[in-house]
Each structure stands twice: as structure tokens, then as C-alpha cells.
Chains A and B, each alone.
Chain A
Amino acid sequence: MTNLEFTPLVFAISAVAGLLGALTGLGGGVVVTPALTLLLGVDIRYAIGASLVSVIATSSGAAAAYVREGYSNIRIGMFLEIATTIGAVVGAYLATRTPTAILGIIFGVVLLHSAWMSTRGRPRDTSGKEDPLARRFKLNGSYPGEHGKKSYQVTHVQAGFSLMFGAGTLSGLLGIGSGALKVIAMDQIMRIPFKVSTTTSNFMIGVTAAASAGIYLSRGYIEPVLAMPVMLGVLAGSLIGARQLVGARVRVLRWIFALAVGAMAIEMIVNGARQI
């Protein structure tokens, strides 16, 4: 295959990944890497390098929507980014020392978990007891609800912070946004309202990915010619996906997508296991 054939193909695959990633809330990065490795036989290190770059692009590009909505909480984001960026640096170092077969298996397991998460609907917002740390770090906030501003309190700050370190490590290890894990930490553990959790998570993803990108760059993982169509494709796909309204058809799509991602996950695990 020549570059003139390969580049548009990678762009198309990445655009589909970005579109589905935005529609399901999984993020495009988690789909691009298995697609590149399984369909095109790209080495996983080049794939995660390109994917990490696309993750920064979608996170930053999605900011436009959040300006209008006013859901994200910049303090929660900044506070938790301490955990995710340290995790990301650790993860990026681990990535350079982990055999690719093991990387593939870990990727498959994370992908399975993401697929499972994407089939579940939006959980109901419940508030917990306020954590003194939440007041100390001014994490409590409010968001625009149906009848004016709704305020919320944040709980289990330490547990959420620890899980964020894990999310950052996976992000740096696998070149993904780790959006699913970030939302679990905020929504289910810290009891931050779902909308606030998802938008704040999206803000954080770019900063987390930027922390490991420099390490990827210096190790030669970021191949410009491969990263170019991946970044532009995922960005284009996710911008289109973000504009689509959530409806009944998205629900069906979600299931089909989850099954496809689940199948890719199993293939990655099997492939990895064979190479050991």
C-alpha cells in the first residue's frame, strides 16, 4: 500500500472511531488503537502514540460545547489533574518497559470494561455526605438545572483522587483518555452529578494526555505520518458525533458498538496471549 492509499484509509477508520466514540461516550482513542493494530497490523507503540495525540485533540476540541453549557467544574478538574498527570507520567514510563504482548492484553481488558460501561444508561444522580476535604478545596459547585442553578456536594475525595491516579496511569500506559474510569471516579465515588462528571472528565483528558505525550515523543512513539490522519480523522468524527442528538437510535447503536468493541477486545487479548 502506498502513502496515498494508506493515509485516507487511516483517516476514514479514525473518523468512524471518533464518531462512535463521541456517540457512545467511550472516546475515539480507545477504538483507534485496536483498529490500527488489528486491521492494519500497525505496531501497538506507533498506534498508542497516534491515539494519544488524537485524545488531546478531541478533548480540546470538545471544549466548544462546554462553553455554552456551563457544566464543567474547573476546580474539581485541576484538583484531580494532580493525580491524573502523575499517573500519566508513571504510565508512560511503564509503557516503555512493558512487552507489547502484555500491553495488548491490558488494552483488551480495559476495552472490555469500556464496552460494558457504554451499554449502561446514565445513572441517577444521588448526593452523599459532604467531605471536609471538598470544602477545604472548594470542590462543591452548581450547574444549570431545569429550574435554575442546582448545587451539589462532593464526597469521598480521597478515594476519588486515588482512582484518578489509576485512570492517569492507564492513560499514559495505553495512550487512551481513560474517560470511562474518570467518570466512575467522579460520578459514582465522589457523587458529582453525571453531566458535571462527564464534561469535567473531558476537560481533564487533554491535560492528562499531554503529561505523557512528551515521554512518548522522546521515545519515538509519535510517528508524524501516521498520527496526522489519526488526529484529523478522530477530531472530525468526534465533532460530528458531538452534534448528533441523543435518541432511540443511539441506544441501538450503542449496543452494536459495544459488541464490536467487545469482539476487538477479545481479539487483542487472544493475540497478546499468543505472543507470550
Chain B
Amino acid sequence: MESWNDERLEKVVSMLLISGVSLAAVVVLLGGVCFLWQHGNDHPDYHVFHGVEQQYRSIRGVLEAARPSDCRGVIQLGLILLICTPIARVAFSMLGFLLERDRTYVVLTVIVLAILVYGLVGPH
């Protein structure tokens, strides 16, 4: 097996990022086409801030909402996939540093990962 080093780690991580962003873009596009198909003639209003509906504000809500009859939910699912992509990148880097037996960087990466998880699912 090829040994782990920073260069190889960066390549794998980059592939992960590209796959994540591509998948997210496809889901967002599908949801968007589906939304425009159903609501193309509605009039959007973003002049006044109301905040999106409650079901689109959490991962659990979006997972329940996303289905062909709720295209906004599908778009939001794609956006959440996108938000998770850099987080997956950090998680994977941690694995890489573990394989490199670099204890300092395992600790640093865990700190970054903890902040990201707090940002994503913490009590806001």
C-alpha cells in the first residue's frame, strides 16, 4: 500500500470536494426545475424578510420535507449536501492525519470538526 503523505491526502480530499459539490448541484438543479414546473407563474417576494418556513430550517425537517411533491425541500436538501461537503473534507483530513500518525494535527482537526458540527446542529 502506498504510504500516506500530505500530497496524497490533498488529492483525495479534492476529489471528495468535487464529488460533493457536483452531487449537490445536481440535486439543487432537479429541485429547481421541479419547482419552476409547478410554481413558475407565482410571484416571488424577497423584499421583506419573513424567514423560510420552519421545516426548511433543520436537517431533520428537510429530510422529511424533501420529496417530489415538495420541490423547495429538494433544493434545500441539495444545499445541505453542499454545506456538508467541506465538513466531510475536514473529517476525511482527520483520518489522513491519523494514518500519518500526526497527533498534533489530529487534535487540531478534531477542534475544527467540533466547531463545524456545533455550527451545523448546535442549539441556535
Contact = CB atoms under 8 A, between A and B. Distances in A.
Contact of B51 (A53, A75, A220): A220
A275 interface: no
Name, among B25, B52, B104, the residue most crowded by chain A CB atoms within 10 Å (CB to CB): B52
Contacts, number: 202
B25 A88 contact: no
A267 to B, nearest CB: 17
A220 B57 contact: yes
B123 to A, nearest CB: 9
Interface string B78-105: 0110111111011001000000001011
Nearest to A213: B83
A2 B47 contact: no
A102 B120 CA distance: 26
A88 B122 CA distance: 14
Contacts of B109: 78
Q: What bracket does the count of chain A residues touching chain B fall in? A: 35 or more
Name, among A59, A218, A232, the residue most crowded by chain B CB atoms within 10 Å (CB to CB): A218
A16 interface: no
B25 A232 contact: yes
Nearest to A64: B18
A222 B78 CA distance: 12
Contacts of B25: 57, 231-232, 235
B115 A1 contact: no
Contacts of A42: 46-47
Contact of A53 (B13, B44, B83): B83
B82 A85 contact: no
Contacts of B50: 220
Contact of A6 (B17, B44, B80): B44
Contact of B118 (A74, A89, A137): A89
Nearest to A208: B86
A46 interface: yes
Given A4-B36, A225-B75, A232-B28, A81 B118 contact: no
A43 B49 contact: yes
B78 to A, nearest CB: 8
Interface string A193-224: 00000000000001101111111011111111
A169 B75 CA distance: 27
A132 interface: no
15 contacts: A2-B44, A3-B35, A3-B36, A3-B40, A43-B46, A57-B21, A60-B21, A61-B17, A64-B14, A66-B14, A67-B14, A92-B119, A210-B119, A213-B120, A228-B35
Given A2-B43, A78-B108, A227-B79, 10 more contacts: A3-B35, A7-B36, A45-B49, A61-B18, A63-B14, A74-B93, A136-B104, A210-B87, A214-B121, A224-B72
Interface of B: 6-7, 9-11, 13-15, 17-18, 20-21, 24-25, 28-29, 31-32, 35-36, 39-44, 46-53, 56-58, 72-73, 75-76, 79-80, 82-87, 89-90, 93, 102, 104-105, 108-109, 111-112, 115-116, 118-122, 124
